[in-house]
Amino acid sequence: MKTDIFSKCFEFYHQLETVKKTEKYFYFRTISSIQGPEVNINGRRFIMLGSNNYLGLTEDQRVKEAAIKAIKKYGTGCAGSRLLNGTIDLHEALEAQIAEFFGKEATVVFATGMQTNLGCIQALVTQDCVAILDKFDHASIIDGCRLASGCFKRYPHNDMQSLERLLQCEPEKPKLIIVDGVFSMEGDLTNLPAIVDLSRKYGARIMLDDAHGIGVMGKNGRGTAEHFGLEQETDIIMGTFSKSLATIGGFIAAQKEVIEYVKHVGRALLFSASLAPPLAAAASMAFKIIETEPERRKKLWDNTQFWLEGLKRLGFDTGYSTTPIVPVIIGDVDKTFEMCRYLEENGVFVSPVVPPAVPPGRALLRTSVMATHSQKQLEKALDAFNLAGRKAGII
């Protein structure tokens, strides 16, 4: 019955079961091992090229030991929100560490990256304000804008002329430009220098979501703003712990007045239990390793260059990627799933990304490398891509 609120669930389930029978379903795959350069799925070993574990720190013994030590001292959770009973000294020490790392006055830590964007954007983009987004921004940014009482507008990906036109609209309203540093599907960078120039010209503030840039970009791993030499010109740096930092959680770093405001107004922080102690301890240790072991980042970039050049040499379209996120753009949805199946048969794990997650006609396989991949593993994966691409008629 259409009057049953569950009717859409039943219809979707039927469609999903049909898709699963066609060997075009590559989601919710169950991994039974550490998410390293190789993983175990249903008793088979796969070269993992679909992870955000860029520096390989999820399997670092120091990170694991820091989490275990925190559990022994604090237990497994804080049993409350940061506002009430859920703030512990471990949170405050981590926040001070992050603020110093980025050269900002203050930081606030959230339980997840998603909550970080929801809470920060909802708090800042009030009824009289406008948020301006790149169309390729992460879904959490869009959802944060939907929760906010202000309005939001979007410009075509990295189109600075369109951004300027939006900034010229409604000049009397406060504006926040919110943009990814490294775009999570295409692997390219935002044009931060141009955004900084435009923000100054039109009196806007900048919030940089650098989930995929921290630990990866910049001489010291401080991300996209450091890469461009624009750390002080970037008003808010947002990051997550679920990529290079080997755990889960998120944060914003900014001037102290902004942090105190978000801490007391951001609903995703106020009405959620705080970051669990072992996660905070793991993130803290990961930051220390990023600061003291630049050789990890060098190895990551060596692997990135090897992988990107290898795919191009085989004839694949890698778009505008300049980072460890390397898309293999197929275009056709069916061909994308076909490629994914061939790669799975040859022991390579990749992630198929199709519309609406990407624009129509731009279906792709999202690949990403880690510092801990060996050249032998990447060579084996390239051989698999060569076979799969020829079988699918892509190359």
Backbone angles phi, psi at 84, to 5 degrees: -100, -90
Amino acid at 26: F
Task: Please name every residue paired with 154 in a beta bridge, in sequence order, or none if there are none.
Answer: 133
pLDDT at position 23: 82
For the whole model, what pTM was predicted? 0.96
* CA 290, chain centre distance (Å): 17
pLDDT at position 388 over 70: yes
Taking only the tens place, the pLDDT of each residue in 181-228 is 999 999 999 999 999 999 999 999 999 999 999 999 999 999 999 999
Closest C-alpha among 144, 138, 102, 90 to residue 266: 144
Taking only the tens place, the pLDDT of each residue in 29-76 is 999 999 999 999 999 999 999 999 999 999 999 999 999 999 999 999
Round to the nearest angstrom and report the end-to-end CA distance of the chain.
48
Residues assigned a catalytic role: 184, 212, 243
pLDDT at position 6 over 70: yes
Complete edge-to-edge strand list for the sheet that includes strand 236-240: 106-110, 250-254, 236-240, 205-209, 175-180, 130-134, 151-155
Pairing of strands 351-353, 363-368: antiparallel
Rounded to whole angstroms, the Cα distance separating 326 from 344 reads 18
pLDDT at position 328 over 80: yes
pLDDT at position 1 over 80: no
The answer to whether the Cα torsion of 39, 221, 219, 121 is positive or negative is: positive
Alpha-carbon distance values, 297 to 305, 372, 394 (Å): 12, 10, 32
- Give the helix ranges, DSSP H, for 180-253: 192-202, 224-228
Q: Which residues of 108-133 are buried (b: 16+ CB within 10 A; e: fewer)?
A: bbbbbbbbbbbbbbbbbbeeebbbbb
Closest C-alpha among 122, 111, 150 to residue 267: 122
CA dihedral of 144, 147, 150, 152, whole degrees rounded to 10: 50
